[in-house]
Amino acid sequence: MVRKTKEEAEITRRHIIAAARRVFLAWGVGRTTLERIAAEAGVTRGAVYWHFRNKTELFFAMREQAILPFLDRVVFKEDDADPLQGIEMALQEIFHILRDQAEVRETFEIISFKCEYVNEFSGMMQCTGGQLDFLGKLTEAYRRAEARGALRAGSAPADLAHDTFLFVGGLIKHWLAGRPDERFRSDPAGLIRNHVALRRA
Amino acid sequence: MVRKTKEEAEITRRHIIAAARRVFLAWGVGRTTLERIAAEAGVTRGAVYWHFRNKTELFFAMREQAILPFLDRVVFKEDDADPLQGIEMALQEIFHILRDQAEVRETFEIISFKCEYVNEFSGMMQCTGGQLDFLGKLTEAYRRAEARGALRAGSAPADLAHDTFLFVGGLIKHWLAGRPDERFRSDPAGLIRNHVALRRA
DNA sequence: CGCTTTACATACATTCTTGAATGTATAAAA
DNA sequence: TTTTATACATTCAAGAATGTATGTAAAGCG
């Protein structure tokens, strides 16, 4: 066996994560063996065990990679002229990421449908910190909109934020699950536009 | 072994399904062995194999049981005075069922979080017939509301129905996942009320 | 230049699971 | 009353899958 440099080892590590994503998606996390991941990555199980303590750690490494784009790209712009526009664009951006970045989409598909939330994983089904953060930012954005008089009367920002949060959760799930011809999959932009329009003053 | 009568065999069958539900919930469907289900039900694996061809068939039998209460109890009453009231009550009823019927709630938890949608199961992640039926009834109900002038202007019934459908999907998921102190878990009624109120003329 | 650590591959022991085969006592049918 | 089908229990063979232990050759470092 030819010993690799640090850079080459890092590449191997990424290959293993990418292979894991493909195999998880096709077989589900539970039915995926490290042997199969290794084969898919063109290495042996020994290599996988070298880089990751076990399947769980590999799973979390994969998950981490997919969350980063959202932290970077989903932001609530403060548009004084139309505060709700910032909310709408943030929501749209979620689906742009899912559409454009296959690895992110596949990872979300795995998290949503190819994984059992039990034992070490059971905490993951609750709202994660990132999700609560998103809910908080949504609430702030609606508050700003209210201050600008952009909201229709009778709706508290916090309630609107909760409603939007649940809407987005449902949409992500159905978007991921749906076949291309289904509405949830084909027209998230329209659904988001309608959702936000309901809130306009 | 004492051979059982048909009635006793039916009871055994139900016991096995109930045991499977408990074990699925704790261990996840994939990591659950028929041996463990059998032990939980107080029978041997032979009995399980007698009643069900394999774990998949047992899973679907359990699932079937949990869907029935919704077909019975979630109905859209046609209230001419306040058509949106019928929609709101139908949504509320979903969570009454989940709150009151532990077996239904647990089964939904399994379907949502303790099961990998792969191979035979992969079709299940799409909208089932029951869900599409629900969406259809929602659309009809909103159409009736529009005809009665109960809807705020500018929103098409079909769009409202989609929005509500996604909201409910998100709410069910977060309600199931949440701990009792979380808002999604503690106050679905309020969230539903706000959601419907947004649509009022 | 020699030692140590790294980055894997290989081999092994152990532990589940599963499906099927077989046994068996009795309920139900004839 | 005899026969047959039922409703399980028990046993077995065989194949994964896992974690670990060990081998190894080269990279990295003083």
Kindly indicate the confidence band of residue B2, based on its pLDDT and cuts at 50, 70 and 90: low
B6 against B143, higher pLDDT: B143
Mean pLDDT of all residues in A35-56? 91
d(CA A38, CA B155) in angstroms, rounded, equals: 52
Closest nucleotide to the alpha carbon of B56, via C1': C18
Strand C positions within 7 A of protein Cβ atoms:
6-11, 16-28
Residue A187 touches partner B, C-beta closer than 8 Å? no
**Total domains in the fold of chain B:** 2
- Provide the number of CB pairs (under 8 Å) joining chain A to chain B: 133
Domain assignment present for residue B161? The answer is yes
Q: What are B74-89's pLDDT values in tens digits?
A: 999 987 788 899 999 9
For residues B87 and B176, membership in a common domain is answered with yes
pLDDT at A1 over 60: no
d(CA A97, CA A108) in angstroms, rounded, equals: 11
pLDDT at A9 over 60: yes
Asked whether B170 and A165 are in contact (CB, 8 A), the reply is yes
Domain assignment present for residue A57? The answer is no
Is B177–A115 a contact, with Cβ atoms under 8 angstroms apart?
no
CB-side exposure of B190: number of CA atoms within 13 Å? 12
Asked whether B150 and B82 are in contact (CB, 8 A), the reply is yes
| pLDDT at residue number B56 | 87
Residue B179 touches partner A, C-beta closer than 8 Å? yes
Domain assignment present for residue B39? The answer is yes
Mean pLDDT of all residues in A183-188? 88
Total length of chain B = 201
A7/C26 CA-to-C1' distance in Å: 71
For residues B103 and B130, membership in a common domain is answered with yes
d(CA B154, CA B70) in angstroms, rounded, equals: 31
Element (H or E) spanning B23, and its range? helix B6-27
Q: What are B97-133's pLDDT values in tens digits?
A: 999 999 999 999 999 999 999 877 888 888 788 899 9
Domain assignment present for residue B58? The answer is no
How buried is residue A163: exposed, middle or buried, by Cβ count under 10 Å (0-12/13-18/19+)?
Answer: buried
Q: What are A46-65's pLDDT values in tens digits?
A: 999 999 999 999 999 999 99
| pLDDT at residue number A59 | 95
| pLDDT at residue number A97 | 97
Asked whether A192 and A92 are in contact (CB, 8 A), the reply is yes
Domain assignment present for residue B57? The answer is no
| pLDDT at residue number A128 | 81
Which chain B residue's Cα is nearest to A157?
B194
Closest nucleotide to the alpha carbon of A3, via C1': D26
Q: Please report residues of A whose CB lies closer than 8 A to that of B177.
A: 125-127
Range of the domain at A7: 1-52
> Is the CB of A6 within 7 Å of strand D?
yes
Quote the Cα angle for A78-A161-B153, to 5°.
90
For residues A96 and A149, membership in a common domain is answered with yes
> Is the CB of A37 within 7 Å of strand C?
no
CATH number at residue B101: 1.10.357.10
d(CA B145, CA B158) in angstroms, rounded, equals: 12
For residues B28 and B120, membership in a common domain is answered with no
> Is the CB of B6 within 7 Å of strand C?
yes
Share of chain A above pLDDT 90, in %: 75
For residues B48 and B71, membership in a common domain is answered with no
Domain assignment present for residue B22? The answer is yes
pLDDT at A112 over 70: yes
